[in-house]
Amino acid sequence: MKFLHTSITVKRMEESLAFYTEVLGLEFERRRTIPENHAEIAFVRDPVTGARVELTHWDGKEEFEAGEQLDHLAFEVADLDRFLLKVRTKGVRVAKEPYRLSGGSSRIAFILDPNDVWIELIETAPPAG
């Protein structure tokens, strides 16, 4: 397993991108809309460590309660089905079963930690050929 990124929920995408790139010096990687989730995401990356932050803006969500800003942590797994089978035997709760986002090649699923923090599991698509 490999740690990929931390996702935070943001109120305003443009303002957040400016903060993380211009103030903190992270590098912009990519941005896209996810219509089926009513969200837009953008990735910024630390040029020194490679650590990534995913900025997530939910359509229609402008205000948060304290603590709601952490959206999820993300890990890459080689075999999503095998990993889920293993963690289920340990009593881990699966919040979303494996699926693909439109336009995406990876399968993803979400599990919950003991504090109900969402953990995204990303199985990268095998190379074509």
Q: Which residues are catalytic?
A: 120
Distance CA 63, CA 11 (A): 7
50 DSSP assignment: -
**5-34 as b/e, with b when 16 or more CB fall inside 10 Å?**
bebbbbeeeeebbeebeeeeebeeeeeeee
